[in-house]
Amino acid sequence: MLPAIITVAALLVSFLGVGKMRGWAAERGLLAVPGERSSHRVATPTGGGAVIAVVAIAGVVCAWLLRPDWARPGLPAFLIVAFLVAVVGWLDDMYTLPAGLRFGVQAVAALVIILRVGAFESIALFELGDLPLGWIGFPLTFLWVVGLINAFNFMDGIDGNAGGIGAAAGAMWALVAWRLDQPLLTTLGLLLSAACLGFLGHNWQPARIFMGDVGSTFLGVTFAAMPLLALQGSGDARLPVVGALLLAPCIWDAAFTFLRRIFQGEPPFQAHRTYLYQRLASSGYPHRVGAGFYLLLTLATGLCGWLYLTAGGRWGWQLLVLVVFVLAVQVAVVRFAERGRPA
């Protein structure tokens, strides 16, 4: 009952809070001004993701205070780190911080999570069984945290996309945590989904406010920490794969675009507008089509993650083939859209 009450409250507070944030940001000139890499044409209030961060953190703290037996050892460290990442994202939205400073904070966040929450010790790769990681688990976890923060941040480029992915992934994480009998993580997943849905009430095309780095980096670090928090309660080596599957379209888009730019001799770290979802929007499709497509993709790979956890390994290779098919469709749809674009 408690997770349901907190979730409904989160949905309402998020929707009303983002509405208030729209007015506040507009009055103080906190606007995303259209530029060369922008997908919007009018100056739009930004920073709405601050409400997502506040709602999620406050909701978890409330659940923790009401049910202290739900807590995990690394929970306080995670909450502090998530808050720090959100604050730096907020400052970046307001003042545009140097890339080195942003990366430094993300690196510190990853190290704190590794030291206080834990690192991946083994990974169950479908039917290959558990693969012990040894010392490689530490750099792999560091790369996972920092990489997912940035990959999720990259998805916040068209109306509704990052919010839709967050809503879908949060709901799937709630199912996974419920299966693992981890009520605090179930509540966190529901909070993320509800907060993102409340935000989408203002961000679905045409967006009246943007998420900003404050929201996208917070969601990235939170989704990165969730499989590590879940491992504390279950030790299930399938959880790293499940965590990746729940955000596979987002991770694949970032990785595919990065590698494509390297192979084409383009600077991989230079700001650009060539992620798959942006290419779909540039082909003439409305933002709501691209955001809806990514929401469905996230639900599809999230369902694969759920089945991988619950099917006991019986569908290992079949699920792997299905995931590869879904990600291939992600690329194929974009290329088909580009071929059909008017000259």
**For the residues 5-18, what does the mean pLDDT come to?**
94
Query: What's the whole-number average pLDDT of the chain?
Result: 92
Q: Detail the DSSP E strand segments found in 256-304.
A: none
Backbone angles phi, psi at 172, to 5 degrees: -65, -35
Q: Higher model confidence: residue 77 or residue 343?
A: 77
Partners of 132 in beta bridges: 122
Token pair for 149: 């923060």
**For the residues 248-253, what does the mean pLDDT come to?**
97
Range of lowest pLDDT (4-13, 27-36, 85-94, 144-153): 27-36
Q: What is the pLDDT of residue 312?
A: 61
Chain mean position to CA 61:
20
Which residue in 232, 270, 244, 236 sits closest to 148, CA to CA? 244
Could you tell me the pTM of the whole model? 0.95
CA distance 194 to 92: 25
DSSP sequence for 19-74: HHHHHHHHHTT-EE---TT-S-SS-EE--THHHHHHHHHHHHHHHHHH-GGG--TT
Range of lowest pLDDT (9-18, 39-48, 207-216): 39-48
In this model, does residue 153 exceed pLDDT 50? Answer: yes
Token pair for 177: 């945590």
In this model, does residue 313 exceed pLDDT 80? Answer: no
In this model, does residue 127 exceed pLDDT 60? Answer: yes
Q: Where are the domains of the chain?
A: 2-339
Partners of 31 in beta bridges: 45
State the pLDDT confidence band at 229, using cuts at 50, 70 and 90.
Answer: very high
Q: CA of 10: how far to CAs of 74, 95, 189, 271, 331, in Å?
A: 23, 29, 12, 34, 35
**Tokens 């009952």, residue?**
1
Q: CA-based angle 190:277:164, to the nearest 5? A: 15
